[in-house]
Amino acid sequence: MSLSDDILRDNAAILDRMLGHRFVEDVCADRLPTPVFHHYLAYEGAFVETAIGIFAFATARAPDLETRRWLIAVQDALANTQVPYFEGCAARLSLPAEPVKSPAARQFDTRMHDLAAQGDFAEIVTAMFAAEWMYWTWCSRAACAYISDPDLKAWVELHVDPAFEAQARWLKAAIDRYGAPQDRPALSRIFHDVTAWEIAFHDAPYDAMKESAA
């Protein structure tokens, strides 16, 4: 068993909770309420910008040039593929005006940023592995379902694209290459924490709906 597989096994319960989250189930059943999706998009747009910074920390702490080159390409994909997706959505849809008021969504950004600012290379890679592996997994399932909203369909497809899959697999392999077996408890803990923050992040757009209805 590899270290990355050990980490996945250590976290099977919480990962299953995230993979069965209401948000994921709603997407797969083609019943995600549009206002929930639009709040989510606003939170996501902010996070993808944060992710550019997280990968910049990883680039700075990378152990070799080959790794740096890969991470620079990741930043390029985020800035020039993912961000334009959000710009396109914002231009076409009337997204909520001041959406990132959600404390849970903002907390996700802050915690991920702080973890990257303070973490060593293996810790940052593990945090992004938790975030990306989970997205690749649930989007692979969702991509088999009918999704009527074209923007949501495009978002799911972005995460089953071979380029995104390669990125998720690269993070997994990087844990095995650069993580030490004795780091398993600490890295598993990071995976656990990030997945817990993800659950709160995906609760947030539903909570925003409850508040606007109240």
Ligand X SMILES: Cc1ncc(C[n+]2csc(CCO)c2C)c(N)n1
Assess 44 for contact with ligand X (CB under 6 A). yes
Pick from 3, 27, 51, 156 the residue near ligand X by CB under 6 A.
Answer: 51
Span 4-43, contacts to ligand X by CB under 6 A: none
Q: Which is nearer to ligand X, 43 or 183 (CB)?
A: 43
Phi, psi of 161 (to 5 degrees): -60, 140
CA diameter of the chain: 53
Confirm if 122 and 179 have CB atoms less than 8 A apart.
yes
Q: Per rule CB under 6 A, is residue 191 in the interface with ligand X? A: no
CB-based contacts of 214, cutoff 8 Å, min separation 6: none
198 is catalytic: yes
Contact between 175 and 110 under an 8 Å Cβ cutoff? The reply is no
Residue 153 has which token pair? 């369909």
Toward ligand X, which CB reaches closer, 164 or 181? 164
Residue 160 interacts with ligand X (CB under 6 A)?
no
Position 37, amino acid? F
Site string for ligand X, 126-145 (x = CB under 6 A): --x--xx--x----------
Cα distances from 87 to residues 17, 49, 50, 78, 173, in angstroms, run 31, 12, 16, 12, 32
Give least dist CB 182 to ligand X, A.
27
Active-site residue (options: 44, 87, 198, 211): 198
Give the binding range for ligand X (CB under 6 A) out of 9-17, 58-66, 125-133, 144-152: 125-133
Q: What residue spans of 11-161 are helical by DSSP H?
A: 12-19, 22-28, 34-61, 65-77, 83-92, 103-118, 121-142, 150-158
As measured in angstroms, the least distance from the Cβ of 118 to ligand X is 18
Q: So which residues are the catalytic ones?
A: 198
Binding site for ligand X (CB under 6 A): 44, 47, 51, 74, 78, 82, 128, 131-132, 135, 167, 198, 201
